Structures are given as structure tokens and as C-alpha cells.
Structure 1
């Protein structure tokens, strides 16, 4: 590994430790909010069972998202963002007839 790259990496790790200990503030923060599952489902015009089946989750999981008891994460959150960005394309890609 290049010595300057190693030095940069080491400096980044030291900064991360200082942030973790509360000694310094991060230079930037990113927050990603998952799309609102209920409004998204209503926007595409599907029932809970249709929407849950289309995205491959149980109705209970969808209801938990809709009632904000849980939040979608990982691939589920990414899929909801895709559906939100382009519902028509997502419906076609997921083979759901309108």
C-alpha cells in the first residue's frame, strides 16, 4: 500500500474514534428516510395484500411499516425508493398488472 494512502487511512480512523468519543463533530451527516409505505401503496393503487405480495413481504410486515412500528431497511427500503421514484416502471418490472 502506498505510504500516503496508509497515512490518510490512519488519519481517517483517528478522526472516526474522536467522533465516536464525542471529542469532535463529524464534518457531514447523511440521513436517509425510508418512503412512507402507506402513502406509496395508496399512490400505486394497490391493496395491502397486493402490494405486500408484489414486493415480497408479509402483510404483517407491510402493516408494521404503514403504522410506523418498524421501518423498512436494506433491500426493502431500496425497493420502496425505486417504486416511489418510478411506480409504473416498478409495477411492470415486478410483473404486477394494473
Structure 2
């Protein structure tokens, strides 16, 4: 590894440590909105059992999301955003 590249990497790690310990502000912050699962489900007109089957989760998990006891994360949150943004495309792809 080139020395300049190594020095940049070390500097980045030092900055990350300072940010993690609250000694420096982050240069960027991303806020990911949690989707309102019930609103998404109601917009596409599916029952809880139908939507749970579509999302490939249990009805209990879906109910926990809708009642805000739990929040979808990772792929489930991404899929919900797709369903909210382009429901026709999402439904077509998921039913295929």
C-alpha cells in the first residue's frame, strides 16, 4: 500500500474515533424514516394476512410493526419503501 493512502486511512480512522466519542461532528448525517407499515398496507388494499404473506413475515410480526412494538429493518424496510413508492411494480414482482 502506498504511504499516502495508508496515511489517509489512518487519518480517517482517527476522525471516526473522534466522531464516535462525541469529540468531533459528523460531516454527514442520514436519517432514515421508519415506514408506517399500516399505511403502506392500507394503501395497497391488502388484509394483514395477505400483506404478511407478500412480505414473507408472520402475521404476528406484521402486527408488531403496525402497532409500533417493533420496526422493520434491513431488507424488510427497503421492500416497504419500494411498495410505498411503486406499489404496482412491487406487487407485480412479488406475485410473479
What is the alpha-carbon root mean square deviation over aligned residues? 1.2
Superposition pairs for residues 21-32 of structure 1, below 5 Å? 21-32=21-32
**Contact 1:34 1:80 (C-alpha < 8 Å) held by counterparts:** no
CA distance in 1, matches of 2:22, 2:34: 27
Between 70-79 and 4-13, report the one with greater CA deviation. 4-13
Structure 1 regions of 5+ residues with no counterpart? none
Aligned length: 96
Moved beyond 2 Å, runs of 4+: none
Please, what TM-score do these two structures have when normalized by structure 1?
Answer: 0.91
Q: Match for residue 40 of structure 1?
A: 40
Structure 2 regions of 5+ residues with no counterpart? none
Shift of the alpha carbon at 1:2?
2.4
Superposition pairs for residues 1-98 of structure 1, below 5 Å? 1-95=1-95
CA distance in 2, matches of 1:46, 1:35: 16
Shift of the alpha carbon at 1:21?
1.5
Q: Helix, strand or coil for the counterpart of 2:24?
A: coil
